[in-house]
Amino acid sequence: MTALPARGGRRPATAWLWGALGIVALAAAWELYKAAGPADGLMLGDTRVLPRTSDLAMPHVWDMVIRFFAGETRATTAEPLWLVVVQASLVTLGIAAAGLVAGLALGFALALAMLSLRPVRWGLLPWIILSQTVPLIAFAPLVRSWGSQIEIGAFEWQDWMSVALIASYLAFFPVAVGALAGLDAPDRIHLELMRTYGAGWWRTLLALRLPASVPYLLTALRLAAANAIVGAVVAEVSTGMQGGIGRMIIQFAGQASGDPAKAWAPIFGAIALGLIGAGSVALLGWLLKDYRRVEVTS
């Protein structure tokens, strides 16, 4: 029996090249539709399925780029718009990271509980799935209201904690489901072999189940990272927290009638956060490449 290495991903340089080409293609498609699309957008019945092509609805790509590097006047200072967006993005990134860590801990703990006892899995898994049906936009203000009532000595609940809690609420679900599937992935013959060696539950978990779960966990982490960022952005809007990219999107959208290119700047910041989350998981996947399954041929 010969073990062959698993198929690797594209080389980093090639991946970056395809990513850059994708951005160029998207910008070209934007400008092509703006030049050739209907002025009032594409309508199907009473529903507009494609946007209007006016400068208010669709600024030119170069106008958005120029505005992104132009100045932005605050109450007492004038700073480049890109710097304002970066500062807000870092606030949201930190909160999303805190929510992701909390979601990972909760999701993995739930996966271990469901793995160890079948009745726990039967009773808990439906509720985990059901939890994701709660509308986030209605749930976020309640979390902030409940948090503001917490008083433990000198501890005071902060608005960012409500946002992080909501981010963890979205992040824990893919981790719980993905980790459970991964920990359950080893073949029965391998589990029986571990029992033959006298390995206990924890030893089997560390030596067999965790390495086998890596491909599942990486997929779950990608979803969890994206969910944490989306949850943080939406929660900032719903709770009214200042300083993050979510609130900036709302504020700049209100100024779009006079400065339409400016409204896209925080959207670029939110996209960058998504890329950072995906890149972090990709880096983790590279670090864990030795634990990925190999293709085996006889």
Residue whose C-alpha is closest to residue 172's, from 214, 94, 227: 227
List alpha helices for the chain, DSSP H: 12-36, 61-68, 81-116, 118-131, 136-148, 159-183, 188-196, 201-204, 210-239, 245-253, 265-287
The token pair that represents 2 in the structure block: 């010969």
User: Helix (H, G, I), strand (E, B), or coil: what is residue 130?
Assistant: helix
Residue ranges of domains in the chain? 1-58, 77-297
User: Helix (H, G, I), strand (E, B), or coil: what is residue 41?
Assistant: coil
The token pair that represents 121 in the structure block: 């899995």
Query: Within a 13 Å sphere around the CA of 95, how many CA atoms are in the beta-carbon half?
Result: 31
Mean pLDDT (the chain, rounded): 84
- pLDDT for residue 121: 87
- Main-chain dihedrals φ then ψ at residue 56, nearest 5 degrees: -70, -40
Please report, rounded to a whole number, the percentage of residues in the chain having pLDDT higher than 70: 91
pLDDT higher at 206 or 138:
206
- pLDDT for residue 221: 93
- pLDDT tier for residue 106 given thresholds of 50, 70 and 90: very high
Q: Are 294 and 8 in contact (CB under 8 A)?
A: no
216-247 pLDDT per residue, tens: 999 999 999 999 999 999 999 888 888 899 98
113-169 pLDDT per residue, tens: 998 888 888 888 889 888 888 877 777 878 888 877 777 777 778 888 889 999 999
In which residue are the tokens 């985990």 written? Answer: 128
What's this model's pTM, rounded to 2 decimal places?
Answer: 0.83
- pLDDT for residue 186: 85
CATH of 77-297, one of 2.60.40.10, 1.10.3720.10, 3.40.50.150, 1.10.3210.10: 1.10.3720.10
